Amino acid sequence: MEKLRTKLRRFYFRVKHDYLSFDNVIFFIAIAACIAWTYSSLSATSRNWELSQKLATKNMELSLIKYEVDNLELENDYYRSAEYQELSARAKQNKMLEGEHLVYLPVNSDAALNKYTTTTDESAESTEPSSVSQWMSFLFGV
């Protein structure tokens, strides 16, 4: 037991005089302060970056909303205009200006619908040679 007590006293003396000297305590306090300052600087920088990203996102949303508001104001101005009111009255209530006449056209017949459809005639293709064969006959006399 005495050996253990002696070892503990030696350990306590060594710690007190070697590790807990005034210079070592100041050094440990300085290291702790540097670590705390570095950590707080990094956390503040990280927080500032996140806040700047949020601010940029909010500014983009704000500009988008401003554009939407401007667009809606222009749309409202158009709906209040005489031009829109006239077009709306013409479309919904069949209104017309003086001197205008409404003409009802008959439904198109099948002949009118098919008049401009393209059909391939084999006789037209066979009478006119292709451009490649025309070149061959021009160049080589074939």
Confidence (pLDDT) at 106:
87
Which pLDDT score, from 0 to 100, does residue 19 have? 80
> Phi, psi at residue 13, to the nearest 5°?
-65, -45
| pLDDT tens digits, 71-124 | 999 999 999 999 998 888 888 887 777 788 777 888 888 888 888 887 665 555
Q: Would you state the pLDDT for residue 36?
A: 97
Domain ranges of the chain: 1-90
pLDDT category at 126 given cuts 50, 70, 90 is low
The DSSP 8-state label assigned to residue 115 in this structure reads T
Statement: residue 61 has pLDDT above 80: yes
Cβ atoms of residues 54 and 48 within 8 Å:
no
Say what the pLDDT of residue 90 is: 82
> In whole angstroms, how far apart are CA 55 and each of 41, 48, 58, 66, 90?
21, 10, 5, 16, 49
